[in-house]
Structure 1
């Protein structure tokens, strides 16, 4: 049975929510790490609710933090760790899917009004889950992460009411020492090969983090993706 997730929320600024943005945090953090972005995006995304669930497992490397899955024993850019990462995202998927279903039902929204935003390990989860939902979310934003299992994108069949896959924005710092920026290009190539529309932005001089430019790109991307319900 999947662990029930929960985390900090920001209510929609205009009353009833007409869209939902879900943040998935990185390894060793928790939901409080990303929820502040929701405050920064409220003007771009009016009538949007934000939630940032805590990952289900305590993090061995940071006992005060959480993890979606244990880190692979190899470096993020080492293909040898692919099987460990794949097993990790597969195991963690169920809890996130259940959480998304519950939040959409609570707000009376459907998948066309949902967007996923991940950072680092959270990006791995946002891509894995979002591309495999029963119906496609409106968009996926991934900061400083990587695409797990690019060779398995044939199973990424999430589509919207028009039969289109969810659009993706990838943002990465060119000085990232933890997940090299090459991971962005590898992910973009993999997604393009699966006909999944992908945009990307490089934050110059930025390490493993999100700068103002990256936040602006993400907010504008989601404002476009959530502009109107897709019929």
Structure 2
């Protein structure tokens, strides 16, 4: 399937800037396995006071999950192994990269005014794609995720945007150790990386993380 065809499959809920003016920034949400674009688009409303001129889009992942009504996936999860994650993000990257570049162009914005925000499998996709675009995006936020294919990053990285990683200490889906692998690998590759571990938090996003990431995006967009 060509990138153009794959790109056409990506769409989802959107929010216009709270200021009601033209978008000066664009935030792209990447949801987790089994969810869809509606799962994260509400974060745009939470961040509207911090990012009043930002537009938000939360595309549905391109694949449905057999037997999982309404659930979407960026790639299939069967063995949940490192090899599966690495192959999955690599195969899904072209469609997402095409979507990101098309959305920026449609909004009349450079990639430096676009941010990627992922959760779980969406974080895997944000890191895979955002570090391999032809130009750096403004920033990447990754909640409860994992850096798939960490051993390949140094050879494949093309862009080094600032990254914020957040993870719950009690995450029952992706162990908190994943944040340490990611931050160490990113730092070794020259990526500016910040990280936070939220005490007692499971596989999710809490209010503190939401505020911290919103403030991080303000800085990435040169609003502070």
Please indicate the TM-score interval, normalised by the length of the shorter structure.
over 0.9
For the residues of structure 1 that align with 2:67 and 2:120, how far apart are their CA atoms?
Answer: 16
Matched, 1:203 2:198: yes
Alpha-carbon contact 1:28-1:61 (below 8 Å) kept: no
Note the residue ranges of structure 1 that are not aligned, 5 or more in a row. Answer: 75-80, 159-164
Structure 2: gaps spanning 5 or more residues: none
CA distance in 2, matches of 1:91, 1:100: 16
Q: Take 2:50 and 2:106, find their aligned partners in 1: how far apart are those partners?
A: 23
Instruction: State the alpha-carbon separation in 1 of the partners of residues 116 and 106 from structure 2.
Output: 17
1:171 pairs with one of 166, 172, 176? 166
Q: Give the structure 1 partner of residue 87 of structure 2.
A: 87
Q: Which runs of 4+ in 1 moved over 2 A?
A: 60-63
What's the offset of the Cα at 1:63?
A: 2.7
Using structure 2 for the length normalisation, give the TM-score.
Answer: 0.94
- The count of corresponding residues between Structure 1 and Structure 2 is 216
Residues 72/191 of structure 1: CA separation in 2 closer, same or farther (3 Å cut): farther
Worse-superposed segment, 25-34 or 91-100:
91-100
User: 1:123 offset after TM fit, Å?
Assistant: 0.1
3-state SS of paired residue (1:34): helix
| 1:161 paired residue number | none
User: Paired residue for 1:223?
Assistant: 218
Question: Does 1:156 pair with 2:157?
Answer: yes
Match of 1:12 in 2: 17
Question: Normalization by structure 1: what TM-score?
Answer: 0.91
Q: CA RMSD in A?
A: 1.1
Residues in 2 aligned to 1:202 and 1:124: alpha-carbon distance in whole angstroms = 17
1:61 and 1:111 map into 2 onto residues whose CA distance is 37
